[in-house]
Chains A and B, each alone.
Chain A
């Protein structure tokens, strides 16, 4: 018995925004239609098999010129783990001063993804 699933995928690679279909049979991509470049084909295949997203949010800051530090994942996070990462970061607090690029969480949830400070925050007395 062949499990055949058709996924409709909207490409985000460029303004043209091709809409296409990715056909998955027994867990692997067997056919793709509607995409017009290699970048689009690669995106569509990954979007079906293991979609990933960059994650940006904020964490609390103590003693800083701002109360919140924007943070960004150093690489894309598996889509289904985004909210787990957000929960982890929501519970954290970092102390000022903070320099842009500082690792706020290393290897979050064992996903192999670091979260880094997206800006400097100076401390206030």
Chain B
């Protein structure tokens, strides 16, 4: 078995892996390797042919392949090594990575630092426990996206979409463009988890109905799916009697959530956050396993690739510093907690601050949709920082920079989101009118 050694290895060559590798090289890591299991770099972006990527990172709207290409060009222009068609089988806590590929067979890499950048995968029918038979024609939306956009197959002609996540909405338009009839989108929650832009441009533009508060209660068909039964649910998500109806279709696409793909970490005893499904990480994106970093959808599911690139650059830079023995030892870490109104926070841990660091950026997911809100940071039970948010949606990540001086040396750190007190702007208007 051939053996190699590198300073920084990223497992995965999607947007997170590429941005981490580039940042690691820039921060002085001499030997950097990207290991990618697909035939090319770019990850899931290569099948996301719609546009709207990169407004923040490149200040223009790019397609998924277009965004990937910017990073692929940067990787090609560097001396970062790239192994394609190579699957990592194990990454041990001592930095020994075992991989396999058709051209090189089994290979061992010794890494000083490792960046997990494996992305996420889709929840399947099993994850939402939909009853009924097991016919062909039921796909996850992302699998269908790859078939339609890259492999040249149309997975069905009469389509029902379950879940209103963005991939499902994008596929509703894509299937319509390819001549299929998309009959409806069913969402179990009383609100959509997709961007408003996608509801308008992928459903309303083509008259595709969106049923909120509806669940698929059965899938029918022996060899091929022939239809689904759908019913309305109450606020406890229980089916309401007498509301069921059938809808015929030959294809069901599921857009019901994403799960960080953490099998490698789990096998190596990585400490995970049960809510995000990703690793517990500090502000350097270092996990609880020293020398192992995480970025992108394997750490927590993002809605914008721009944030993935930014986060991965933090992880890559930190991985390079660790490889050079420069990253301060984590020492005593403080936990960051989420309270009222919030579901997740990343990073979940704070290590000692870097010299000269002015603020720490936190990413949050809200527990439920809210109007005007206040994001609050509480340090040792005292309100230390507050930020006004005009609107809060679980589907859109909240990002906040908290000044280091507000965090100080407080032992307990907690974030909350509360409804903003009644509209201050409205009061001003009333005074003007009077």
Which A residues lie at the B interface, using CB under 8 A? 10-12, 15-17, 53-54, 56-58, 60, 65-68, 70, 72, 79, 86, 100, 118-120
B404 to chain A, nearest CB (A): 28
Q: How far is the CA of A53 from the CA of B198 in the complex (A)?
A: 12
Q: Are B65 and A118 in contact (CB under 8 A)?
A: yes
Would A15 and B149 be within 8 Å (CB), given that A10-B196, A56-B63, A119-B46 are in contact?
no
Q: Indicate whether B66 reaches chain A with its CB closer than 8 angstroms.
A: yes
Q: Indicate whether B200 reaches chain A with its CB closer than 8 angstroms.
A: yes
- Segment among B135-143, B278-286, B388-396 that sits at the interface with chain A: B388-396
Q: Which residues does chain B contribute within 8 Å of A15, judged by CB atoms?
A: 195-196, 391, 393, 396
Question: Can you name 24 A-B residue pairings with CB atoms under 8 Å?
Answer: A10-B199, A10-B200, A11-B196, A12-B197, A15-B195, A16-B390, A56-B49, A56-B50, A56-B63, A58-B148, A60-B152, A65-B39, A67-B152, A70-B49, A70-B65, A70-B149, A72-B66, A100-B65, A100-B66, A118-B49, A118-B63, A119-B63, A119-B65, A120-B69
Q: Which residues does chain A contribute within 8 Å of B50, judged by CB atoms?
A: 56
Residue from the list A17, A54, A100 in contact with B196, Cβ < 8 A: A17
Q: Which residues does chain A contribute within 8 Å of B61, judged by CB atoms?
A: 54
Q: How far is the CA of A58 from the CA of B197 in the complex (A)?
A: 22
Q: Which residues does chain A contribute within 8 Å of B148, judged by CB atoms?
A: 58
Q: Which residues does chain A contribute within 8 Å of B149, judged by CB atoms?
A: 58, 68, 70
Would A12 and B196 be within 8 Å (CB), given that A53-B201, A53-B205, A58-B149 are in contact?
yes
Q: How far is the CA of A68 from the CA of B151 in the complex (A)?
A: 7
Q: Are B51 and A56 in contact (CB under 8 A)?
A: yes
Q: Indicate whether B4 reaches chain A with its CB closer than 8 angstroms.
A: no
Residue from the list A12, A16, A86 in contact with B200, Cβ < 8 A: A12
Residue interface mask B173-200, A partner, CB < 8 A = 1: 0000100000000000000000111011
Would A119 and B69 be within 8 Å (CB), given that A66-B150, A72-B63 are in contact?
yes
Which B residues lie at the A interface, using CB under 8 A? 39, 46, 49-51, 61, 63, 65-66, 68-69, 148-152, 177, 195-197, 199-201, 204-205, 390-391, 393, 396
A contact patch SS? loop
Q: Which residues does chain B contribute within 8 Å of A119, judged by CB atoms?
A: 46, 63, 65-66, 68-69
Q: Are B391 and A16 in contact (CB under 8 A)?
A: yes
A90 to chain B, nearest CB (A): 9
Q: How far is the CA of A58 from the CA of B49 in the complex (A)?
A: 8
Q: How far is the CA of A10 from the CA of B201 in the complex (A)?
A: 11
Q: How far is the CA of A105 from the CA of B39 in the complex (A)?
A: 28
| Chain A minimum-CB-distance residue to B69 | A100
Q: Which residues does chain B contribute within 8 Å of A72, judged by CB atoms?
A: 49, 51, 63, 66
B84 to chain A, nearest CB (A): 12
A48 to chain B, nearest CB (A): 13
Q: Which residues does chain B contribute within 8 Å of A66, judged by CB atoms?
A: 150
| Chain A minimum-CB-distance residue to B372 | A16
Q: Are B177 and A86 in contact (CB under 8 A)?
A: yes
Q: Which residues does chain B contribute within 8 Å of A70, judged by CB atoms?
A: 49, 63, 65, 149
A68 to chain B, nearest CB (A): 5
| Chain A minimum-CB-distance residue to B392 | A15
A4 to chain B, nearest CB (A): 23
Would A118 and B66 be within 8 Å (CB), given that A12-B196, A58-B49, A79-B205 are in contact?
yes
Q: How far is the CA of A125 from the CA of B424 in the complex (A)?
A: 68
Q: Which residues does chain A contribute within 8 Å of B152, judged by CB atoms?
A: 60, 67-68
| Chain B minimum-CB-distance residue to A47 | B200
Q: Which residues does chain A contribute within 8 Å of B46, judged by CB atoms?
A: 119
Interface centre among A15, A17, A65 (most CB of B within 10 A): A15
| Chain A minimum-CB-distance residue to B51 | A54
Q: How far is the CA of A38 from the CA of B320 in the complex (A)?
A: 45
Sample of 12 further A-B pairs with CB below 8 A, known A68-B149, A100-B66, A118-B63 = A11-B196, A15-B196, A15-B391, A15-B396, A56-B50, A57-B49, A60-B152, A66-B150, A68-B150, A68-B151, A72-B49, A72-B63
Q: Which residues does chain B contribute within 8 Å of A11, judged by CB atoms?
A: 196
Nearest 8 CB-CB pairs, A to B? Answer: A119-B65, A70-B49, A17-B196, A12-B197, A118-B63, A67-B152, A16-B391, A118-B65
B14 to chain A, nearest CB (A): 15
Q: How far is the CA of A80 from the CA of B176 in the complex (A)?
A: 14
Q: Which residues does chain A contribute within 8 Å of B393, judged by CB atoms?
A: 15
B363 to chain A, nearest CB (A): 15
B50 to chain A, nearest CB (A): 5
Q: How far is the CA of A100 from the CA of B68 in the complex (A)?
A: 11
A13 to chain B, nearest CB (A): 8
Q: How far is the CA of A11 from the CA of B197 in the complex (A)?
A: 8
A2 to chain B, nearest CB (A): 28
Q: Which residues does chain A contribute within 8 Å of B177, judged by CB atoms?
A: 57, 86
